[in-house]
Structure 1
């Protein structure tokens, strides 16, 4: 398997992986009326707005993993509203009332990217998402993807980064802890665990 920079032709593969790992690491296909909802939130904006910070794991015949994110979350949120939301808003109309279902909460986040800007995360401006299909897990590729991303955002000037994962995704929680990420308390957040760490690759543990 080869780790390489994202290319425009990888778009569909990244979207597919995002859905197949979107339920706390398990397959989320069919969980929502439109499978594109999850990648329109957690993959598409990054591929469209900061493709230079996206990397994929190429197994030869197909892409089986990726890491993507931003070096500057506040600037990214602004670009999301100005450049990404107009592309996808018609496919996911905002709820007419306060969100009640999981789908409505995701759509509300799509339309209000500013909800990502928690004060506790401000000191750690970069953030990432990393996903691997089952056949690529457990062989060190996740670590390589994250370290590649850390190097990329460090070069862009980000001293540290944050990320969030579902509290029920114990495999991901253990992975980040092994990589030297530290838990970060974020007020008012339920069902997610946040972490932060320096972008210095030499600081990785385990």
Structure 2
């Protein structure tokens, strides 16, 4: 397994991997429109912090990636990126995205009535860095995920980062166990992620943190 940083020549293959790496997961596609989702969860990392984008290759083929950010406060906000994608791709005029956003609004309204928190961006100067990781189904269990996270944490140690956070799904117990093994610990409560469903059930976000 080869772990290295992104180069511009990887862009097309990485975009293809983005569309299939989450296969089988609840977040495989949030609203059924891969191009707009990539503009939020992939393209900004290529454009703004490509030196923190790590790739896993097996026999020369891209099988996983980790998008990292050393300072979340200096990175484009997810809400801002979402609004751009909604306007550019006219998502409110597409059936699947419109259904997702309507469900999200209903979930947030219900949570507000019950005075329960919902998922939001994490902002804490103790853990300013963050990451997202995706590994293709055929590469799970091969060490690709370990290699990607270790490369990212080594970079944070080298740059003197005070810490890193990530946000995963509480119901994805395999992911939670993996991140624990990599040195992350749960931080704060598990909260509702508006709009997302798995087998008809609501899902919840767990923030996890790592300190060098």
Q: Provide the TM-score with structure 1 as the length reference.
A: 0.73
Alignment-derived partner of residue 54 in structure 2: 55
C-alpha deviation, 1:61, in angstroms? 4.4
CA RMSD of aligned residues (A): 3.4
Q: Give the superposition deviation at 1:140.
A: 1.9
Cα gap change, 1:64/1:23 in structure 2, threshold over 3 Å: closer, same or farther? Answer: closer
SS in structure 1 at match of 2:75: helix
Q: Distance in 2 between matches of 1:53 and 1:11?
A: 14
Say which of 206, 209, 212 aligns to 1:193: 206
Q: Identify the residue that residue 14 of structure 2 maps to in structure 1.
A: 14
Structure 1: 5+ residue stretches without partners: 106-114, 201-206
Higher relative contact order (CA 8 A, sep 6+): 2
* Alpha-carbon offset, residue 26 of structure 1: 6.6
Deviation at 1:189, TM superposition (A): 4.7
1:92 maps onto 2:89 in alignment: yes
- Residues 154-189 of structure 1: per-residue CA shift (max 9 Å, x gap): 333311100011223222111111112100115865
Match of 1:154 in 2: 157
SS in 2 for 1:164: strand
Cα deviation, residue 55, structure 1: 1.0
Match of 2:122 in 1: 118
Distance 1:26 1:20 in 2: 13
Instruction: State the Cα deviation string for residues 74-124 of structure 1 (Å, max 9, x = none).
Output: 00136995xx7797564334759xx9743565xxxxxxxxx95434x4420
Report the counterpart of residue 112 of structure 1 in structure 2: none
SS at match of 1:149: helix
Decide which of 160, 181, 186 is 2:184's aligned counterpart. Answer: 181
The correspondence of residues 76-87 of structure 1 with structure 2, limited to 5 A, is 76-77=75-76
Identify the residue that residue 128 of structure 1 maps to in structure 2.
Answer: 131
Q: How many residues align?
A: 185
Change in Cα spacing, 1:193 to 1:100, as seen in structure 2 (3 Å) is farther
Structure of higher CA gyration radius:
2
